[in-house]
Amino acid sequence: MTLISRSPVRISFGGGGTDLASYYEKYGGVVVSAAINKYFYTILEIRLDDRIQLISSDLQVHHTVRDFYDLKLGKGLDIPVAVLKHFNVQRGLNLFMASEIPPGTGLGSSGAVTVNIINIINELERLKLTKQEMAELAYDIGYNELNMPIGKQDEYAAALGGVNFMQFNKDGTVEVEPLNIAREVRVRMESDIMLFFTGRTRESSKILKSQDNAGKDDKEVVVESLHKIKEIAFEVKKALESGDLNEFGRLLDDSWHIKKNLAKGISNPKIDKIYDLAKKNGALGGKLTGAGGGGYFMAYCDKPHQKAVTKALVKEGLSPLDFHFDKKGATIINGD
């Protein structure tokens, strides 16, 4: 028996950081994000013996144990181990994991990984979990079982797909509202939102831990910045649903300048140079797609200026990435 599952990564348009528990449990958070057609894949094959073999192409890690009881954290593949242990999967299997996007690039890959492995176990064991349940469980495993300093948006984007307005309530519940965007606006968004790989992956946990601790300690500059970022997310929703994409670009610019107040390491001279070049050549606004420090740079730029922006950023060593929005979220694409 072989199963293949895929889950999309995401780009965030507004509200990032307000999905951390240290903020939303006090004030409530909101995020506008879109799943894109760059996927994390998992292939599961049932074995005839009790061995469990875990292989990550991205991390170049291979781990084989005698049986379920030999699975241990701390061997470099904590997410699949935690999911298998959570579901008490006591059967031999091979689990191969690979992504179209390298890890540490700010597109929510760890959330996509967790959701995807839950999705394939959900299919294997016929558990009938809903996508919302899978998203919440993925967050619980990452945040509570593995003590990862994560927010909630990545898991919901990976599980549900689409372009969504997410509300993270003080009690931990999440409400997801698909944005009401006209088809022609969606097409223009896919055309005018540009993604570039900076060539640098980064460890987001340090930045997120710093921001999380500042939120727990109620550091005024961080909390006030997150309040403003949340307000901008509501404005982003309004701009996208009304089709005012120039306003959307300007809001990205406002949010980026505020985001840099959240923690050290979000930006650096290289990233500041990239951002300034993009704006100088016609982009209305932009941001790094994740916690900061590296990964993918996203810019909003009208078609007539895109060639100049691309030329300037490629000259700085960046690589463009074409994408479309994903509508399905976590999906089983093969089963026999």
Q: pLDDT, tens digit, for every residue of 227-251?
A: 999 999 999 999 999 999 999 999 9
Give me the mean pLDDT over the 133-148 stretch.
Answer: 96
Residue 204, pLDDT above cutoff 90? no
Look at the alpha carbons of 140, 325, 205, 4 in this order and tell me if their dihedral is positive or negative.
Answer: positive
Domain boundaries defined on the chain: 2-180, 183-321
Summarised one tens digit per residue, pLDDT across range 36-62 is 999 999 999 999 999 999 999 998 999
C-alpha 218/C-alpha 224 separation (Å) is: 9
Q: How far apart are CA 17 and CA 56, in angstroms?
A: 28
CATH architecture for the domain at 183-321: 2-Layer Sandwich (3.30)
Quickly list DSSP for 42-104: EEEEE-SSS-EEEEETTTTEEEEESSGGG--SSSS-HHHHHHHHHHT--S-EEEEEEESS-SS
- Does the pTM of the predicted model rise above 0.85? yes
Q: Which CATH number fits domain 2-180: 3.30.230.10, 2.30.42.10, 1.10.10.60, 3.90.550.10?
A: 3.30.230.10
> Contact 154/164 with Cβ under 8 angstroms?
no
Task: Write out the catalytic residue numbers.
Answer: 154
Quick one: what percent of the chain has pLDDT higher than 90? 82
Long-range contact pairs involving 58-65 (C-beta distance under 8 Å, separation at least 24): 58/97, 58/98, 58/99, 58/102, 58/103, 59/103
Residue 62: CB partners within 8 Å, gap ≥ 6?
53, 54, 55, 56
Q: 1-50 pLDDT, tens per residue?
A: 899 999 999 999 999 999 999 999 999 999 999 999 999 999 999 999 99
Instruction: Name the residue among 41, 240, 20 with its Cα closest to residue 232.
Output: 240
